[in-house]
Structure 1
């Protein structure tokens, strides 16, 4: 099978790091969202089963078919919206599931009609690259700010990365990860007590539809998923040079969410941060073989779903500083490439910088994250600049 011939240590490690970063950085928000609807421990485990299976299969299968890295994740801003709105509105789990189904139907419709892809086609590459750099730069900053609480660990990982980039450039991230885990284990910083051995069991919840849940849960979940997740996700694909069937893939994520919603899958969408890890040069020097990183990521996510409690414990055992450091270092190449493309064209440079800075700011307006507002600000700046240029000629 070509997959095993194309698979390398660096691509598998990229897949593992993507899971580590994607999971540990936001799993607490997902737990809070589930608890906002009075979820039982069994239902929370079911959420992890549904999300893990959905992310895993939607990443691995299309990647194998297309031979391109397709990366699907849960909607982190969507989970934050659910956690806030769920507590404020006092919604039941049945009403939440009804809202998940409505959101899934809207995502499917957005993919089937192709309107979202048409919007993305109108965004210049400079702005898309600036958006990518802005989204990723926060993780680069966090890698070094982690030194405030874990200076020896971060310095060791940085030194390991720099030396490995000189001597073993393809394996810089695996070497850095091993060095960090070894140091953390030696210092007793690995929370092994979080690991418990039990299989995840899916729990079906019959949906209940209400106007209040539609307005307070379904529509905000759809908007933030499309604007704060799918938009930067497509930007990552294009900035890294991958031409994907965006509409069909969005339709796939909508249908997968529709099927898994009664078990707790609130929204599946393109990833941005973890996608950059698996689509960047650190995953594999050959862009045609980077799909193996996405397949590896998908396989690990699937295991995460099936053995939810076990893998949840393993991933949350890592110190948060280690996760921040490995994420930032693994994304250095993607951040640099994004900035290089963003400022290359002088006619787009200022608009791209505005996009980058607004995105990097992390500003949230009307519940929608900075990725969306970065594109809006950059597009408006570009429109004004180009309009003025044309009228002065």
Structure 2
């Protein structure tokens, strides 16, 4: 097995972990904070997710000898960012994370639930995701309006680098954010000391609480977007590279690691899609049988980055919130455009998709339940009525 290690796999593993972390950690922090996490709890959640998905990638790749890449649920974090705090605060959100993890495990072990998730119409799932992402994707524009001197360099860095290599566009925006933070933001007294103290890995155990609002408003939508937008596309990427393995055990394993990270603030880990293509492609190794080391190295670096979660969170806390939202929004533009195209491609389902999108994007909460759920329900009713009308 050690003979399969190569410099290509090492580099691609590092690149996958760096891109996976740099491109969306801002979304994760924003999502956890939005549902009531304190800065320390958000840092703990970021660390728990990074370590969980790193170990999960190592375990699955070693077991299958395939490049099984794992990521946190970026669409799920975006959902949290638009859901807002639920009654009961972050402990209720953590309870919802646990329920979501259990559902993912069941989905991987009990075929009827897996079939039920797969039966959710694609246009509605994509419309819900697009509605969830819209608010964050507007953040770069708001950041420029808030302060052009601070916001414009971040947007320009993303725009210019994307013309040459889209893979490095978000890391470039992140680098611009760091430079703006250093040269454009006045650090409060004691900021450097707090960064030094944050080198200690943050560990916050949150006692979960369970209620109906958390179940329906967070757990179910989080489960749906994680399965529909991450796990299922993740299996498709593997199949596209001729890695054929039963998806059920992969889903169940990601659910178990989600369950382990949840009490420490992690919302969900799942199969990766973009970084999966990096680790499964020819750049990872000419021999497909040896590419699994790229995913293993990515897992190792995820663990390392996770141990630095305190520093990352402390650094982010020094900047105006709108700037980190801008980085998150830039990271999600690609996902937003893809989901919009998929949602409205089929003319027969456009009305149902539009209703789902608009209600979700409105981010209105009824009876303590987020708009993502109501958008899916309303769009589902329109979808059923449309197809009943078509049959008659």
The two structures have a TM-score, normalised by structure 1, of 0.71
Hey, what does 1:67 align to over in structure 2? Answer: 67
Contact kept in structure 1, 2:17 and 2:301, CA below 8 Å:
no
Cα deviations by residue, 1:325-347 (Å, 9 ceiling, x for unpaired)? 11212222221122122222111
Hey, what does 1:332 align to over in structure 2? Answer: 333
* Mapping 1:124-273, distance limit 5 Å: 124-189=121-186, 192-195=192-195, 196-200=197-201, 217=210, 221-237=214-230, 242-243=235-236, 247-256=248-257, 259=260, 264-265=263-264, 268-270=267-269
CA RMSD of aligned residues (A): 4.6
Distance, in Å, in 2 between the alignment partners of 1:348 and 1:379 is 10
**Structure 1 unaligned blocks of 5 or more:** 35-40, 88-95, 208-212
Cα deviations by residue, 1:241-300 (Å, 9 ceiling, x for unpaired)? 743866545533543455567xx336642579xx78x5699x8996997x9999888656
Cα deviations by residue, 1:357-379 (Å, 9 ceiling, x for unpaired)? 22212122343322222222222
Hey, what does 2:89 align to over in structure 1? Answer: 84
Q: Cα distance 1:234–1:165, how it changes in 2: closer, same or farther (>3 A)?
A: same
- Alpha-carbon distance, 1:232 to partner: 1.1
Distance, in Å, in 1 between the alignment partners of 2:31 and 2:98 is 25
Cα deviations by residue, 1:96-136 (Å, 9 ceiling, x for unpaired)? 99998788666644543244322221122222222222222
Cα deviations by residue, 1:160-212 (Å, 9 ceiling, x for unpaired)? 2222223444432222222232122111356545411453486889x9xxxxx
Instruction: Please state if 1:120 is matched with 2:117.
Output: yes
The two structures have a TM-score, normalised by structure 2, of 0.71
- Alpha-carbon distance, 1:381 to partner: 0.9
Once structures 1 and 2 are overlaid, which stretch shifts more, 295-304 or 166-175?
A: 295-304
Distance, in Å, in 2 between the alignment partners of 1:292 and 1:316 is 35
Distance, in Å, in 2 between the alignment partners of 1:287 and 1:367 is 48
Q: Cα distance 1:150–1:85, how it changes in 2: closer, same or farther (>3 A)?
A: closer
Distance, in Å, in 2 between the alignment partners of 1:124 and 1:158 is 34
Hey, what does 2:243 align to over in structure 1? Answer: none
Q: Cα distance 1:333–1:286, how it changes in 2: closer, same or farther (>3 A)?
A: farther
- Alpha-carbon distance, 1:302 to partner: 3.2
